[in-house]
Amino acid sequence: MFVVTRLSDAVAVIDDSTDQIITRIPVGNGPVRITMSPDRLKAYVSNGAAGTVSVLDTVALTTTATIQLGSKSRPQESAVTPDGGRLFVIHQLSPTVTVIDTATNLVITNVFIGGHQAKDILFTLDGRFAYIANYSQGTVNVIDTATYQVTTIPTAAGPRRLAISPAGDRVFVTNNLGNSVSVIDTGTQQLIATIPVGEKPRGIAITPSGDAIYVGNVQGGTVSIIDSSTLTVIDTITVGIKPWEVIITEDGTLAFVSSSVSGTVSVIDTATRKVIKMLATGSGSFFSAINPDGNRFYVSNSNDTTVTVVDIPSLTVLHVIPDV
């Protein structure tokens, strides 16, 4: 488990068999995001303040390269193409997407998308197109990864996070300022629906079967559940205060919602659409992940610099890892 630690300019590595920190890997100034290569042998860390990307060897647990992007670009989210060949990096203060060759760690090109504060990026299942949530523009930009040509799709205001359906035929976009979810047909690259949800939607996750979309509404403290066949909200569930992220287990039975202000994780049974457990985690519960074995849920608590470990079968807190 790799955890970006922004205040110490490092990545903490946690052994998920012992839930202990085994090392800290120095990276650049102000690391904010991390993404893995498809084979999980490399990790890429966006260093916002430094304007760089650190390349980590996840076996040797070392930094192998530092890629310069621009000191004022504020690199943010990134994604690796499904074939592992290229890294796409979006920026907070630059109207471009940087494309990097993962074999040479050299910048191939910078693709102009306009605006600033791009918030999220994902690829279609075949890797042919990259979708970017362009927060300041109220659009989703689609980059053809073969030609680097850009198609722009208008959404509601403040597109924040993206999710792609298991079949790859639709991309769902939470519009943080528009209190809605936009639905894009990936075949036609056209907007096909705008679904009203709660206040300030951010986190989004889709069940493995593709039948339901879970959306965390930050301001309202709720989760909206969207039926993928009718593209309508079929339920609204009250969770903790300021829900930031939603993750669904691989078998699709549980949804975990981390709420930053209440310092909790709400566990939703996807069959009954009810909260079955409210777990106290830590102050500023935010980014979360499930380990590869699917039996432990990890949530980073940004205000108290801890990571809470939840046993999924029993839905109990196993450990709180301090001083991460």
**Architecture of the structural domain at 203-323:** 7 Propeller (2.130)
pLDDT digits (tens, 9 = 90+) for 225-255: 999 999 999 999 999 999 999 999 999 999 9
Q: What SS3 state is found at 226?
A: strand
Length in residues, the chain: 324
What is the per-residue pLDDT for 229?
97
Residues of the chain with pLDDT under 50: none
Euclidean distance between CA atoms 98 and 73, whole angstroms: 10
Task: Read off the pTM.
Answer: 0.96
pLDDT at 7: 84
Assigned fold of 1-154 = Methylamine Dehydrogenase; Chain H (2.130.10)
Cα 102 to Cα 45: distance, rounded to the nearest angstrom: 13
Compute φ and ψ for 304, nearest 5 degrees.
-115, 15
Q: So what's the pLDDT on residue 111?
A: 98
Q: 7: helix, coil or strand?
A: helix
What pLDDT, on the 0 to 100 scale, is given for residue 286?
A: 87
Distance CA 311, CA 295 (A): 6
Q: Coil, strand, or helix at residue 4?
A: strand
pLDDT tens string 25-81:
999 999 999 999 999 999 999 999 999 999 999 999 999 999 999 888 999 999 999
* pLDDT for the residue numbered 138: 97
For the chain, how big is the Rg over CA atoms in Å? 19
Report yes or no: 193 and 213 within 8 Å, Cβ to Cβ.
Answer: no
Q: Where are the domains of the chain?
A: 1-154, 203-323
The Cα 50–Cα 237 span in angstroms is 40
pLDDT for 105 = 98
Alpha helices in 67-214 (DSSP H): none
